[in-house]
Structure 1
Amino acid sequence: MTGVGRLLIAVYGVLALAATGRSFVQIVGKYEQAPLAYSLSALAAVVYIVATVALVNRGRGWYRTAWITITFELLGVLVIGTLSLVDPALFPHDTVWSVFGRGYLFIPLALPVLGMWWLARHPVTGVEPVTSDA
């Protein structure tokens, strides 16, 4: 893997570490203040970890896992980002995905788009991208 793929994996890895650290500190230190927000930060951390592992490992199962986690990530950042603007009381403290990842320089908003683009450009032979055409 070269170029954009390596950069993509590196950014996912850094975001996985950052989200994991942030959620750990939030949950251990002040969970009762914003349990929903802190639980969502932990969920985001798990998604970033699984996406990172799936992008590093090639194969049909990992390719599908990458599509699923990155799609979930995009939906999460869009839904939580929108809800955090429409009803800020739902999230009295920020999550990784609040305001579309503002606390992380909007990388959580851009990253899944780049990830989906990269996956579409580098399919595993014999595996079609996961689509919502049902």
Structure 2
Amino acid sequence: MSEPGPRPTSSGPGRVLVAVYAIFALSATARALVQIVGRFSEAPLAYVLSLAAGVVYILATIGLAGRRPWHRRLAWAAVAFELVGVLVVGTLTVFDAGDFPDDTVWSVYGRGYGFIPLVLPFIGLWWLRRTGRPG
């Protein structure tokens, strides 16, 4: 008898997590594109970081929603990168706000988004670990 594999990350409560990531993917990417097209010269670093965050959220959504083994690896990489990104950008915007004349998704640890960008990767990593065990 073969041992059961990991549970799908998009099942049960994971559906809510996928939905939240999808909303952030859409909102962060759309906001960044509007900012880049309309006023890139005002805060190029902030707008490029917002676009990078949007791409990370897209990749995390794809990874969490998928059911193939590579989807899980993608989700792990994207959510881990997200955590590092929000911590690094959050810290930089607290201590050196001059380089960020406009907010990014991860500015001050996601303050403009109710700190969800700070909490979300912890929940994502916990969910990936929890569903990674045979169920």
Query: Is TM (by shorter chain) over 0.5?
Result: yes
1:106 has 2:98 as partner: no
Query: Contact 1:19/1:44 (CA < 8 Å) preserved in 2?
Result: yes
1:64 has 2:73 as partner: yes
Q: What is the distance in 2 between the residues matched to 1:55 and 1:109?
A: 18
CA shift for structure 1 position 2: 3.8
Instruction: Name 1:4's counterpart in structure 2.
Output: 13
User: Structure 2: 5+ residue runs without aligned partners?
Assistant: 1-9
Specify the code of the residue in structure 2 equivalent to 1:79.
V
Give the SS at the match of 1:72: helix
TM-score where L is the length of structure 1: 0.90
Query: Contact 1:63/1:124 (CA < 8 Å) preserved in 2?
Result: no
User: Structure 1: 5+ residue runs without aligned partners?
Assistant: 126-134
Q: Cα RMSD between the aligned structures? A: 1.2
Structure of larger gyration radius: 2
Alignment equivalent of 1:115, drawn from 124, 127, 132: 124
Q: What is the distance in 1 between the residues matched to 2:125 and 2:67?
A: 15
Instruction: Name 1:29's counterpart in structure 2.
Output: 38
CA shift for structure 1 position 124: 7.1
User: Relative contact order (C-alpha < 8 Å, sep 6+): which is higher?
Assistant: 2
Specify the code of the residue in structure 2 equivalent to 1:10.
A
Q: What is the distance in 1 between the residues matched to 2:81 and 2:107?
A: 15
Number of equivalent positions: 125
Q: What is the distance in 2 between the residues matched to 1:83 and 1:109?
A: 14
Alignment equivalent of 1:96, drawn from 105, 114, 121: 105
1:40 has 2:62 as partner: no
Q: What is the distance in 2 between the residues matched to 1:56 and 1:86?
A: 36
Instruction: Name 1:14's counterpart in structure 2.
Output: 23
Q: Give the share of equivalent positions with the same residue, in percent.
A: 56
